[in-house]
Structure 1
């Protein structure tokens, strides 16, 4: 079985004033920890980013 880590739409727009993600600091730490574990086990990591025009979430 092959494993991979998908990181989907973790972007600056999630942390803009007035539109902050719930417990965002903990989310970032969790994502950072998962990326570190994936790298240490040579697990593939895929970063997926939604692109919208400036000013749009």
Structure 2
């Protein structure tokens, strides 16, 4: 396996992680009873922090 295909696989893995994190944030925002702008924004901030932690592991 050359470096290019490895980077592609790692990139798609990262994309999947980011997408699932984003989807969870959206779902949490939609499901939560107090789905106002502030709670949605704070959930997005928490998700971005989690994503940064995941990115740091790779």
- Using CA pairs under 8 Å that are at least 6 residues apart, name the structure with larger relative contact order, 1 or 2: 1
| Superposition TM-score tier, normalisation by shorter sequence | 0.3 to 0.5
More strand by share: 1
- Normalized against structure 1, the TM-score is what? 0.39
- Normalized against structure 2, the TM-score is what? 0.39
